[in-house]
Structure 1
Amino acid sequence: MDSQSNPSTRPVSDVMIRFDRVVKKFGDNVVLRDLSFEVEPGEFVTLIGPSGSGKTTILRLLMTLERVNGGTIQVGEEYLSHMEKNGKLVPADEKHLRKVRRRIGMVFQQFNLFPNMKVLQNITEAPIRVLGQSRDEAEEKARSLLEMVGLSDKIDAHPSQLSGGQQQRVAIARALAMEPEVLLLDEVTSALDPELVAGVLAVLREIAETTDITFLCVTHEMQFARDVSDRVMMFDRGQIIEDAKPDKLFTDPDHERTREFLHAVLDRA
C-alpha cells in the first residue's frame, strides 16, 4: 500500500465517511481512480451503477477487507487506512484497523450466519467477545433487536430453520448489536426470493428513520434507493459521475450515462 506522501490535514470531524483521492488497483486493473466523497453523520447514501464500477470495493475498503493503493479513508475523526506515527501519516497497522473498524457494521449479500448457533447466540457472540458485554446485557439487547426486526418468536431457531428473508433480518440484527456508527449494506436483497424482499427493506427503512446510524448502501433496488436515501451517487468506471438528491437523480439526471443505466435497470424491473 502506498503511504500518503503529503498528509495535508488532520481528519475532518464533521463528516462520518471521507474518501480523499482513493486509488484501488487489482493488478493492472484500476478499480477506483482518485475517488473523493464525503458522507455526513446520519446520512443515508446509496451507490448505484453497473456491475464492476467499484461500488462493492468501496464497502470492502471500509471493512478493511481490502487496502487502498493511494489516498486516505476517514471514519469520523479517525483515519482508517492510515495512522499517525512520528508526526507523519503512514499505512495503518492491524491494531489501528481493528480499533476503527469497530465503528462499522456490514450486512452482506449472503447472510453469513453461524449454522451451528441458534439465532440468539448468532447475535450475542460478537458483543460478548469483542465489546466485552455481559451475557445478560448482550441477550437483552438481542431480544430487543429481534423484536425490531419482527423475529422474537425465532430466538431459539437455527438458521437452517429460517427463510432467506428471516436470515437476512437476523443478520441485520447481528450487525446492529455491535452498535455501529456506520452500517454498510451490500446488495442485501440480491439473494432473496422476490416475495421476501419487501420485508427486509421495510426493516432497513425503519432503522434508517429511527436511528442516527450513517448508511452507505449498494443496491439495485431503485425504488428503495429513491424512498430512503438522502443522496444517491452514480458510479461508472471507478468514478462518481453524478451525486444528487434521489428525486433529482431519478427524474432528471444530468449525465447521459446515468440516464442509460436507469433506463436499463428500470426496464428490467
Structure 2
Amino acid sequence: MKAASGDLLKPSADEAREHLIHFDRVTKRFGSQTVLDSLDFKVYPRKHVTLIGPSGSGKTTILRLLMTLLKPDEGTITVDGRYLNHETRKGKLVPAGEKHIREVRKNIGMVFQQFNLFPNMTVLRNITEAPVQVLGLSRDEAEERARELLELVGLSDKCDAYPSRLSGGQQQRVAIARALAMRPKVLLLDEVTSALDPELVAGVLDLLRDIARTTDVTMVCVTHEMSFARDVSDCVMMFDGGKVIEYGHPDKIFGDPDQDRTREFLSAVL
C-alpha cells in the first residue's frame, strides 16, 4: 500500500501561502527498527493537525523530532522556513550548531504527557522562567503575560501555589500556560490527558478547544481522544508502520476512511 504524503489542508488564497512545518523524506530508526519511513508532509499556519494510529506507529517520534529531543537519520525538517537540524554553510547543508537549533526551536512549544513542572517554583515562576531566560523578557513583562494566561486557563488564583498543591488537571493547565508563554507559532500536544484521572480529562480538552478556537497558534496533537480529534482538527493523519497511510478532514477520516487499516483502528477505539 502506498503511503499518503503531501500538503495538509493547503491554505486558501487569502491565507499565508508558506508552510510552517515541512518533513522532507524524514526517516528515524532505533537500531534495526524503522519508526518513521521517508515521511513527507507539510503543515500550514493556524491549522490544527491531529496524529492518530496504534501505539508504536511513530506519532510521538514526530513531536520529539520537532522538539529536537531526537534527530532524524535521513531527510530534513523545516520550521517557519528554517532548517531545524541543519544549516547552510558555504553553500552546503550541514548539521546545525546548538545556537541555530535553539533559535529555530523558539517557535515551538510542547505540552507533555507528564506535566514536568518545576516543583520548587511557584506557578507564576514556572510560567515566567523561560520567557525571561530564553526570550529575554523583563520580569514584569513576563509576569503580566503569565497572569493573562493563568486567567485563560482558569487558574488566576493559583499564582503563588506550588505544583504539589495542585490537582493533576490544574498542573496540566499550568503546563499549557507555560508553553503558550513562549509565544510559539507551533504548539505540540503529546497525549496531554493520558496521566489525568478520568474526571479531569474533559476540562483540559475543553480548554484546548478554546485555545484552538480563539488563538492563531498552529497545533500538532497526538491523542487517543477521538472525539477531541474530530472536534478540534482541520486535518487528521492516520499512522501505521511509520508511514501516513491516510489523511484528510476529520469528517472524512472518521466518517468514510479509504483504508481498511484506518477502519480497523477506529472500530477498536471508538
What interval of TM-score do these two structures reach, taking the shorter chain for normalisation? over 0.9
Q: Percent identity?
A: 72
1:193 aligns with 2:175: no
| CA distance in structure 2 between the aligned counterparts of 1:257 and 1:93, rounded to whole angstroms | 40
In structure 1, how many angstroms separate the alpha carbons of the residues matched to 2:137 and 2:125?
Answer: 13
What residue number does 1:77 align with? 81
Name the counterpart of 2:147. 143
Distance 2:30 2:97 in 1: 21
Residue 158 in 1 paired to residue 125 in 2? no
Hey, what does 2:71 align to over in structure 1? 67
The 5-angstrom pairing of residues 145-224 of structure 1 reads 145-224=149-228
SS of aligned partner of 1:262: helix
Counterpart secondary structure, 1:152: coil
2:129 is aligned to: 125
Distance (Å, rounded) in 2 between the aligned partners of 1:131 and 1:82:
22
DSSP-derived class of the 1:241 partner:
strand
Residue 213 (structure 1) shift: 0.8
Q: Which runs of 5+ in 2 are unaligned?
A: 1-16
1:77, distance to aligned residue in structure 2 (A): 1.2
Gaps of 5+ in 1: 1-12
2:12 corresponds to which residue? none
Q: Which of structure 1's runs of 4+ aligned residues deviate more than 2 A?
A: none
Alignment-derived partner of residue 258 in structure 1:
262
Q: Secondary structure at the match of 1:154?
A: coil
Report the count of equivalent residues.
255
* TM-score, normalised relative to structure 2: 0.93
Selected match of 1:44 from 23, 34, 48:
48
Aligned-partner SS, 2:157: helix
Distance in 2 separating the partners of 1:191 and 1:69:
30
What's the CA shift for 1:154?
Answer: 0.9
Cα RMSD between the aligned structures? 1.0
Task: Report the equivalent of 1:33.
Answer: 37
Distance 1:99 1:129 in 2: 13
Q: What's the CA shift for 1:170?
A: 0.2
